[in-house]
Amino acid sequence: MFVQGIDIPEGLDTPDPSVWPYSIPAVGRLLSDPLDFRAPVTFLVGENGSGKSTLVEGIAEAYGLDARGGRAGRKYANNRPKTPLGERLRLDLTQRGARQMSAGRRARTGYFLRAETTFGFAEAVSGMPGYWDENLAEHSHGEGFLIILQNMFDKPGLYLMDEPEAALSFMSCLRLVGLMHDLAEGGSQIICATHSPILSALPGADVIEVGDHGARRTTWADLEMVDHWRRYMADPGRYLRHIVDP
């Protein structure tokens, strides 16, 4: 592993907990309680607005990755300042992570895959050395995601993902589960924000549910998301009768 925890250190300019993003419970709790990572693969699961993507983006920026996404060790033409969380977040690094950080930007290995910016970013780096040879325009959205994943997630490193399932079918999600497993077995660390019960079922993964309560460890079987999916697949009408007029 590379990062074993995150927090927001106290200082002369301690953030106002009523101001975004610290007003999000999962982020605000870092002002007093660190969040630790205990397994090579961690899933952050929660509703829209719960803070899971904000946390992953903050970790990416604190580690030196571009907030729009991209590989470690590369500096992109991006004048966008860091987010408030990215500026303040402190990473509790393992010895391995500390060595990578102290060795400089080019020594870091990893990638930040952010679903909402992936293809805009991919167009910008298409044809550059060190990426992929395929023309993503000739592939479907989901195929393009898999090409990026298979080419960029290729060596031990810190891999951050924000809702990677967005473009993937059921079977493609299973392929991503296999890739995550292989990366973890090979010495990588993955922190992934997701809505997917498929991805978050990866054996051995640490599952953290974020929401109004802040952040708490749980199991896949006890996730509210999993319970809703089970109920919906068993009887869609139980949900749809409240949404669709008969």
**Which residue ranges make up each domain of the chain?**
3-220
Taking the C-alpha atoms of residue 52 and residue 215, their distance in angstroms, rounded to an integer, is: 9
206: left (phi over 0), alpha (psi -120 to 50) or beta: beta
Name the CA dihedral angle for 36, 39, 43, 46, rounded to a multiple of 10 degrees: -40
Instruction: Say how many C-beta atoms besides its own lie within 10 A of residue 75's C-beta.
Output: 10
- Assigned CATH class of 3-220: alpha beta
What pLDDT is recorded for position 195? 96
Taking the C-alpha atoms of residue 44 and residue 111, their distance in angstroms, rounded to an integer, is: 17
Cα 175 vs. chain centroid, distance in angstroms? 17
Segment 223-243, tens digit of pLDDT: 999 999 999 999 999 999 888
Taking the C-alpha atoms of residue 86 and residue 23, their distance in angstroms, rounded to an integer, is: 15
> Minimal CA–CA distance to 47: which of 204, 189, 241, 228?
228
Strand, coil or helix: what is 210? strand
User: 44 pairs with which residues across the strands?
Assistant: 193, 208
Amino acid symbol at 42 = T
Segment 55-73, tens digit of pLDDT: 999 999 999 887 777 777 6
Q: What is the pLDDT along the chain (246 residues), one digit of tens a residue?
A: 999 999 999 875 788 889 999 999 999 999 999 999 999 999 999 999 999 999 999 999 999 887 777 777 666 545 566 788 988 999 999 999 999 888 777 777 888 988 777 767 777 776 676 777 777 777 787 888 888 888 888 889 999 999 999 889 999 999 999 999 999 999 999 999 999 999 999 999 999 999 999 999 999 999 999 999 999 999 999 999 888 876
The answer to whether residues 200 and 207 touch, using CB atoms and an 8 Å cutoff, is yes
What pLDDT is recorded for position 80? 64
**DSSP-assigned states of every residue in 98-138:** HHHHHT-GGG--EEEEEGGGHHHHHHHHTT-TTS-SS-GGG
